[in-house]
């Protein structure tokens, strides 16, 4: 059985460098169902690919845990 991946772009404030990108990527990658994360500090955008639509509060908590703030969906 194959499921279609869901890709969502979020705006995250506070990322300024590659280390920031790594911290956000690590926390979001730990969420259930997440298959890929691409964080770009320059734009403040984080693209998350997952097996199903993610709970925005779970995404917010993961971004917060990394030390940044989820602004919302891009």
CATH number for the region 6-73 comes to: 3.30.70.100
Read off the pLDDT of residues 53-70 as tens digits, 9 standing for 90 and up.
999 999 999 999 999 999
Residue 2 has a pLDDT of 55
Rg of the chain, C-alpha, whole Å: 11
Instruction: Give the position of tokens 């984080």.
Output: 46
Cβ(74)–Cβ(48) under 8 Å? no
What is the residue extent of each domain of the chain? Answer: 6-73
Read off the pLDDT of residues 3-54 as tens digits, 9 standing for 90 and up.
679 999 999 999 999 999 999 999 999 999 999 999 999 999 999 999 999 9
């Amino acid at each position: 059985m194959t499921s279609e991946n869901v890709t969502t772009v979020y705006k995250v404030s506070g990322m300024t460098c590659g280390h920031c990108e790594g911290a956000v990527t690590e926390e979001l990658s730990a969420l259930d169902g997440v298959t890929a994360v691409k964080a770009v500090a320059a734009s403040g955008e984080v693209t998350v690919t997952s097996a199903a639509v993610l709970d925005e509060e779970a995404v917010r908590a993961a971004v917060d845990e990394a030390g940044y703030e989820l602004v919302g969906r891009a």
